[in-house]
Amino acid sequence: MYQQKRNRILRSNPSIRNLVAETTLTPHDFIAPLFIDEGENILHEIPSMPNYYRRSLDLTVKEVKELYSIGIKSILLFVKAKDDTKDNTGKEAWNKNGLMQRSIKAIKDACPEMLVMTDVALDPYSSYGHDGIVKDGEIINDETVEALVKMSISHAEAGADFVAPSDMMDGRIGAIRKGLEENNFTKVGIMAYSAKYASCFYGPFRDALDSAPGFGDKKTYQMNYANRIEAIKETLHDVEEGADIVMVKPALSYLDIIREVKNAVHVPVSAYNISGEYAMIKAAAKMGWIDENKAIIETLTSMKRAGADLIATYFAKDAVKLLG
249 is catalytic: yes
Stretch of 13-21, 117-125, 133-141, 173-181 lying at the interface with ligand PBG (CB under 6 A): 117-125
- Selected catalytic residue, list 196, 262, 304, 317: 196
The CA–CA distances, whole Å, from 247 to 93, 132, 235 equal 22, 20, 8
Q: Give the span between the Cα atoms of 283 and 270, in whole angstroms.
A: 25
- Selected catalytic residue, list 86, 218, 249, 317: 249
Member of 197, 205, 221, 315 binding ligand PBG (CB under 6 A): 205
Q: What is the DSSP string of 80-129?
A: ---GGG-BSS-GGGG-TTSHHHHHHHHHHHH-TTSEEEEEE-SGGGBTT-
Residues 239-278, mask of contacts with ligand PBG (x by CB under 6 A):
-----------------------------------xx---
First to last CA, the chain: 47
Residues 157-176, mask of contacts with ligand PBG (x by CB under 6 A):
---------xx---------
Nearer to ligand PBG, 121 or 160 (CB): 121
CB 249 within 8 A of CB 294: no
Smallest gap from Cβ 189 to ligand PBG, in A, equals 17
315 binding ligand PBG? (CB under 6 A): no
Contacts of 97 (CB under 8 A, 6+ apart): none
Reported residue count of the chain is 324
Q: Of 56, 19, 18, nearest to 36 (Cα)?
A: 56
CB 210 within 8 A of CB 80: yes
Smallest gap from Cβ 167 to ligand PBG, in A, equals 6
3-state secondary structure 268-306: CEEEEECHHHHHHHHHHHHCCCCCHHHHHHHHHHHHHHH
Residues 15-54, mask of contacts with ligand PBG (x by CB under 6 A):
----------------------------------------
Stretch of 102-110, 133-141, 155-163, 199-207 lying at the interface with ligand PBG (CB under 6 A): 199-207
86 is catalytic: no
Smallest gap from Cβ 210 to ligand PBG, in A, equals 12
CB atoms within 10 A of CB 144: 25
131 binding ligand PBG? (CB under 6 A): yes
Site residues, ligand PBG (CB under 6 A): 119, 121, 123, 131, 166-167, 202, 205-206, 218, 274-275
